[in-house]
Amino acid sequence: MSTRQIRLSGAGGQGLVLAGIILAEAAMRAGYNVAVAQSYGPEARLGASRAEVIISTEKIAYPQVDKPDVLLCLSQEAFDKYLVGLGEEALVLVDSSQVLISTNHRKPKIIALPLQRAAMEQVGSKLVTNVVALGALNALAGIVSWEHLATAVAARTPSKYRDQNLKALDVGRALASGASLA
Amino acid sequence: MNNQELVQGNEACARGALYAGCRFFAGYPITPSSEIMEYLAREMPKVGGVCVQLEDEIASISAVIGASWGGVKAMTATSGPGFSLMQENIGYAAITETPCVIVDCQRWGPSTGQPTKAAQGDVMQARWGTHGDHPVIVLTASWVREVFEMTVLAFNLAEIYRVPVILLLDEVLAHLRENVTLPVAGELQVVERVEKTNGSMPSFGAGARLMVTGMAHDETGFPVQGEKAAQLLKRIVGKIEEHKERLVRYQGFYLDDADFLIVSYGITSRAVEAAVERLRAGGVPIGWLDLKILWPFPDKPIREIASHVKDILVPELNLGQLVREVERAAAGHAPVSHLGRVDGSLITPEEICRYVREKIARVCL
């Protein structure tokens, strides 16, 4: 049995639910069972938001993540809140352009990358930070094939912004290949 | 994995409605049900139906009842506060024997509460929310594909029994996305309304003389009192009570050698399924009854199982609702306890496993 639990956390409006949908759809195309649960506050924007993706070769009975293997944090609030309760070998990706990693939080597998800055400087929009993050996360955690992920990005983004999002995926991937531990 | 799609619970509900032949939807947006109307606003016109946002939930249920008498299968969707506003006319639908479907995506607490958090707090409202003795059927679901199937079943039962049918979902399932293969045309049974011009339920404008009233009435539709009024009430309530055995729907797991029983429904059944597998793997003699239709309530199976188990647990996202029905049905044959959670999060498999293990340690001492 193989199951991965992925928590994508940040603030409302950062596209975390969409990132979860894209990741799950890519995994579904690869033949896995998937569940995407979302959790957010009553605000239209900001406030803590998260998407939880479970990818498994087995039937997924309980549909929420209890011990993440992979954690993405795009906001300080999310980082401070979700660093506890991780799996033993969990991988944590943090957007260093939005999160300050205090030394007492330091864990072996926290990887800090300037995701939002890369989105703005290399793709020209901070709106694609979620897809940059997906690219980086997949490069680091090896969740799905790039072919499936790119297909899912293309399928779930408006045609007008498709190229921009596919570029964002590549930017994230490249960013992570030069990544070092925080 | 052919034809697999990543589908949200609310979308599965909307697509189930279209599959069942729903061609009228009226509603007022409310989290966590809004995606049902969003989907139908886009897709309903493509199949020649009408999807309309009205000024509130009272207007919405009224329009749904009107559309049903216009000969069209009709539905509305809401959450707890909107469901409360609909209650008066759910009574009207019951006495006028109007087939219609009401979806309630439950959220936390009374009033605005926590609109984006799940709960199972409308169970009693679904059964008893409207006034007077009345028939009602209440369905629930735990999986995205099941949301689709139960929506279709809701329309079928509404047509067969001519009652308002309530589908109780919750915030997590409404927003949950899973890979599913949804039914294709012809795969599920769809009950059509028979003979719209004459038949048992003629439509307005189709030629028959029609009298529809919320007053006590006889078969001509004109007002009556006394014994005839009693006959009406007994008949409309009896439609469900007399067909109870046919209507109840549940799935039993590991019941043959179970010493302990869990009774669950809706999203909580997902945690129970995970917990039961773990407990069984650890040699715990646990059984599980997964309810799909809450009303009519499966009194008989619960009484039978209660007579040969030591303890019954009912986990719910409320402070104790369906547990009262289970307790009543168990009729003292086994003690019934409740595991409630009301912080907006789901009950986890761990919580259930821990509770059961502690309970067994106490009971077996």
Q: Is B307 on the interface with A (CB under 8 A)?
A: no
Q: Do B273 and A61 touch (CB under 8 A)?
A: yes
Phi/psi of residue B63, nearest 5 degrees: -65, -35
The whole-number pLDDT of residue A111 equals: 93
Residue corresponding to tokens 């949908």: A21
Same domain, B298 and B166: no
The whole-number pLDDT of residue B210 equals: 87
The whole-number pLDDT of residue A108 equals: 63
Q: Is A85 on the interface with B (CB under 8 A)?
A: no
Q: Do B116 and A42 touch (CB under 8 A)?
A: yes
The whole-number pLDDT of residue B365 equals: 55
Q: Residue B66: in which H helix or E strand, if any?
A: helix B57-69
Q: How far is CA B183 from CA B16, B24, B46, B145, B186, in A?
A: 9, 21, 19, 9, 8
Q: Which domain holds residue B271?
A: 251-363
Domain membership of residue B238 (yes or no) is no
Q: Nearest CA to CA, how far is B143 from chain A (Å)?
A: 9
The residues with which B316 forms a beta bridge, in sequence order, are B340
For residue B308, the one-letter residue type is H
Task: Provide the residue count of chain B.
Answer: 365
Q: Do B172 and A25 touch (CB under 8 A)?
A: no
* Final residue in a domain of this structure, among B154, B180, B206: B180
Burial code of B177-197, b = ≥16 C-beta within 10 A, e = fewer? bbbbebeeeeebeebebeebe
The residues with which B118 forms a beta bridge, in sequence order, are B107
- List the domains of chain A with CATH numbers: 3-177 (3.40.920.10)
* Final residue in a domain of this structure, among B157, B180, B203: B180
Q: Do A62 and B273 touch (CB under 8 A)?
A: yes
Q: How far is CA B253 from CA B84, B143, B256, B280, B305, in A?
A: 35, 17, 8, 11, 12
Q: pLDDT (tens digit, 9 = 90+) per residue, B291-300? A: 999 999 999 9
Q: Do A35 and B273 touch (CB under 8 A)?
A: no
Q: How confident is the model at residue B225 (pLDDT cuts 50, 70, 90)?
A: very high
Instruction: Quote the ipTM score.
Output: 0.94
Residues of chain A with pLDDT under 70: 1, 103-108, 179-182
* Final residue in a domain of this structure, among B121, B146, B180: B180
The whole-number pLDDT of residue A40 equals: 85
Average pLDDT over chain B, rounded to an integer: 95
Q: What pairing do the DSSP bridges indicate for beta strands A33-40 and A70-73? A: unpaired
Shortest CA distance to B40 belongs to which of B10, B8, B14? B14
pLDDT at B1 over 70: no
A16, A39, A46: best to mutate for the B interface, most B CBs within 10 A:
A39
Interface of A with B in 63-82 (CB under 8 A): 63-64, 66
pLDDT at B197 over 80: no
Domain membership of residue B150 (yes or no) is yes
Q: pLDDT (tens digit, 9 = 90+) per residue, B33-67? A: 999 999 999 999 999 999 999 999 999 999 999 99
Mean pLDDT of B321-334: 98
Domain membership of residue B295 (yes or no) is yes
Distance CA B163, CA A14 (A): 44
